[in-house]
Amino acid sequence: MIKTDAPWCAVLVLGLTSLAAAAPGPLPPDDDKDLARAILKELVEIKTTHDVGTTVAARAIEQHLLKAGFAPEDVVFAAPSDHPIKGNVVVRFRGRGRGPAVLFLGHLDVVEAKAEDWSVEPFKLTQKDGWFYGRGTIDMKDGDAALLEALIRLRRGRFEPDRDVIAAFTADEEAGGDANGPAFLLKEHRPLIEAGLVVNLDGGGGTYKNGKRQFFELGTSEKTYVTYTLEATGPGGHGSLPGPDNPIYTLADGLGRLEHHHFPVMMTDTTRASFASLADLAPAEVSADMRAVARNPPDPAAAERLSQEVRFNAELRTTCVATLISGGHAENALPQRAKATIQCRMMPGDSAASVQNALTNTLNDPKITIALDAPPIVSPESPLTPQIRKKVEAVAHSMWPGVPVVPTMATGFSDDRQTRNAGMPSYDLSGVWSDSAENRAHGRDERVGVREFDESVEYTYRLLEEMSKTK
Q: Which is nearer to Zn ion, 139 or 315 (CB)?
A: 139
The answer to whether residues 322 and 340 touch, using CB atoms and an 8 Å cutoff, is yes
Nearest approach in angstroms of CB 256 to Zn ion is: 36
Measure CA 427 to chain center. 10
Nearest approach in angstroms of CB 206 to Zn ion is: 17
Q: CA separation (Å) from 256 to 153, 261, 336, 352?
A: 58, 9, 20, 21
Nearest approach in angstroms of CB 390 to Zn ion is: 27
Q: Which of 403, 69, 382, 385 is nearest to 221 (CA)?
A: 382
Q: Which is nearer to Zn ion, 140 or 152 (CB)?
A: 140
Q: Which of 423, 425, 419, 446 is nearest to 434 (CA)?
A: 446
Separation CA 120–CA 131 (nearest Å): 12
Nearest approach in angstroms of CB 113 to Zn ion is: 14
Q: Which is nearer to Zn ion, 180 or 277 (CB)?
A: 180
Q: Which is nearer to Zn ion, 139 or 172 (CB)?
A: 139
The answer to whether residues 161 and 96 touch, using CB atoms and an 8 Å cutoff, is yes
Nearest approach in angstroms of CB 426 to Zn ion is: 14
3-state secondary structure of 407: strand
**Residue-wise DSSP of 181-243:** HHHHHHHH-HHHH--SEEEEEEEEEEEEETTEEEEEEEEEEEPEEEEEEEEEE---EETTS--
Nearest approach in angstroms of CB 443 to Zn ion is: 13
The answer to whether residues 192 and 185 touch, using CB atoms and an 8 Å cutoff, is yes
Nearest approach in angstroms of CB 330 to Zn ion is: 44
- Give the residues lining the site for Zn ion (CB under 5 A): 1, 139-140, 202
Count of alpha carbons within 13 angstroms of residue 66, beta-carbon side? 12
Question: What is the four-CA torsion angle of 346, 348, 350, 353, rounded to 10 degrees?
Answer: 70
Q: What residue number has its CB nearest to Zn ion?
A: 1
Q: Which is nearer to Zn ion, 75 or 168 (CB)?
A: 168
Separation CA 105–CA 198 (nearest Å): 7
Nearest approach in angstroms of CB 40 to Zn ion is: 15
H or E stretch covering 428: strand 426-435
Q: Which is nearer to Zn ion, 140 or 192 (CB)?
A: 140
Nearest approach in angstroms of CB 414 to Zn ion is: 7
Q: Which is nearer to Zn ion, 139 or 381 (CB)?
A: 139
Q: Which is nearer to Zn ion, 12 or 201 (CB)?
A: 201
Please measure the distance between the N-terminal and C-terminal CA atoms of the chain and give it in whole angstroms.
30
Q: Which is nearer to Zn ion, 174 or 350 (CB)?
A: 174
